[in-house]
Amino acid sequence: MKPMNFRGRWVLITGASSGLGLEMARLLAKEHGAHIIAVARREDRLLALKAELEGAHGVQVLPLTADLTRPGEAVRVHAAAVEGRAVEGVILNAGVTFFGHVLEQPPESFDTMLATNVTSVVRMSQLFAADFVKRGGQGSLMLVASTAGFAPLPYQTTYAATKAFVISFGRGMAQELRKAGVSVTVFAPGGIATEMLSLSGLDRKFKAGDVGIMSAEACARIAVDAMVHRRELAVPGVLNRFLAMTMKLLPHGFMAQRAAALYEGGLPKEPPTP
Ligand SMILES: NC(=O)c1ccc[n+]([C@@H]2O[C@H](COP(=O)([O-])OP(=O)(O)OC[C@H]3O[C@@H](n4cnc5c(N)ncnc54)[C@H](OP(=O)(O)O)[C@@H]3O)[C@@H](O)[C@H]2O)c1
């Protein structure tokens, strides 16, 4: 398959208001000349991104304020995105985590996680990929997973399970769509210095500058390159690739035990007694 050329084409990015999504939007506008459809809940940030990218790079930016946990929101975002334009790249990047003992995760936190990390990803993948197929394979999709999806991850147990879903779903979809000329990339980063670390409390354990924690800019560059070159699976960084390989080779029970020991140091309090 030929690499994607996004110059003058529309690329939709969910979670474009911060972190990895924001940096991918900046890079696609600056270095690939792509028009951006920026999706997230925080409208002020999307408007600031529009002003920044349109001013600096002469591309168009369509901000789409959306809460992807709401029923029907994926359908609304798709309809608004394709109205009067052909969307040729879709990056489903919005995601949330929960760091803590699995018994302490409130039901509403899990519902939000499932809707954001899984349900909206499936629905939007189906809607946009169907458009790509109808246009004769003109389009590429990238799903942002995590190395957490390669093996169980204690204390981010539900998050890791959602990312395991994304890896399996994305790779299955890639095979189904291959003959139609549509590429699906699964991007699985390790730790990135973004708001996700502070929002979840993971910054008690991991900080920007720590070994293994990438900058969002560096991670975005590898992600966009993987999508442009239509890679099926991309893991950024030598350390993360080594980790991903050990997760495949070593027993998951052992890996989970090591991960539990690592994360326990960052937990806020003792696990609940039954
Ligand atoms: N940071 C890491 O260490 C790490 C590691 C591996 C994988 N990842 C994955 O990378 C992706 C990006 O995360 P990040 O690290 O860049 O985190 P981040 O800075 O917290 O960004 C998350 C993005 O998702 C959006 N979002 C969250 N809930 C949403 C909702 N209900 N509706 C619409 N948008 C929503 C947020 O925007 P609003 O709040 O404005 O809605 C924000 O733009 C995620 O899928 C994450 O799982 C992150």
Ligand 1 mutation pick, 13, 18, 67, 217, max ligand atoms within 8 A of CB: 18
Is 270 a domain residue?
no
Range scoring the smallest mean pLDDT among 14-18, 28-32, 201-205, 241-245: 201-205
- pLDDT score for 269: 67
What is the per-residue pLDDT for 192? Answer: 97
Phi/psi for 173 (5° steps) reads -65, -40
Give 116 Cα–ligand 1 centroid separation in angstroms: 9
Q: What is the mean pLDDT of residues 59-66?
A: 98
The answer to whether residue 171 is domain-embedded is yes
pLDDT mean over 120-133: 98
Output the pLDDT for position 271: 57
Predicted confidence at residue 103, as pLDDT, reads 97
- Spatial neighbors of 68 by CB under 8 A, at least 6 apart, are 14, 39, 74, 77, 94, 115, 116, 120
The reply to whether 274 falls in a domain is: no
**What's the 40 CA to ligand 1 centre distance in angstroms?**
9
Q: What is the reported pLDDT for 245?
A: 95
The CATH number given to whatever domain includes residue 224 is: 3.40.50.720
Q: Report which ligand 1 atom has the smallest distance to the Cα of 197.
A: 1
Look over the chain and give the mean of its residue pLDDT values, rounded to a whole number: 95
- Ligand 1 neighbour 46 (Cβ under 6 A): no
pLDDT at 1: 82
Average pLDDT in the 92-120 region?
A: 97
How far is the centre of ligand 1, averaged over its atoms, from the C-alpha of 136 (Å)? 31
Region 7-21 average pLDDT: 98
Proportion of the chain above pLDDT 90, given as a percent? 90
94 lines ligand 1 (CB under 6 A): yes
In this prediction, residue 138 has a pLDDT band, given cuts at 50, 70 and 90, of confident
The reply to whether 109 falls in a domain is: yes
Residue 22 has pLDDT above 60, yes or no: yes
* pLDDT band (50, 70, 90) for residue 265: confident
Q: How far is the CA of 273 from the centre of ligand 1 (A)?
A: 32
Contact assessment for residue 227 and residue 140, using Cβ atoms and an 8 Å cutoff: yes
In a domain, 105, yes or no: yes
In a domain, 269, yes or no: no
Confidence check: pLDDT of 85 > 90: yes
pLDDT at residue number 8: 98
Exposure on the CB side of residue 110, measured as CA atoms within 13 A: 13
pLDDT of 274 over the 90 cut: no
Which pLDDT belongs to residue 272? 57
- Cβ atoms of residues 125 and 141 within 8 Å: yes
Tokens of 143: 């799903």
Does 116 contact ligand 1 (Cβ within 6 A)? yes
Q: What is the pLDDT of residue 99?
A: 96
Overall domain count for the chain? 1
pLDDT at 208 over 90: no
Quick check: is 83 in a domain? Answer: yes
Domain that holds residue 94: 10-264
Domain contains 272: no
Of 12, 27, 64, 96, the residue with max ligand 1 atoms within 8 A of its CB, to mutate for a pocket test, comes to 96
| Cα atoms in the Cβ-side hemisphere of radius 13 Å centred on 176 | 12
Distance CA 105, CA 19 (A): 24
pLDDT digits (tens, 9 = 90+) for 153-202: 999 999 999 999 999 999 999 999 999 999 999 999 999 999 999 999 99
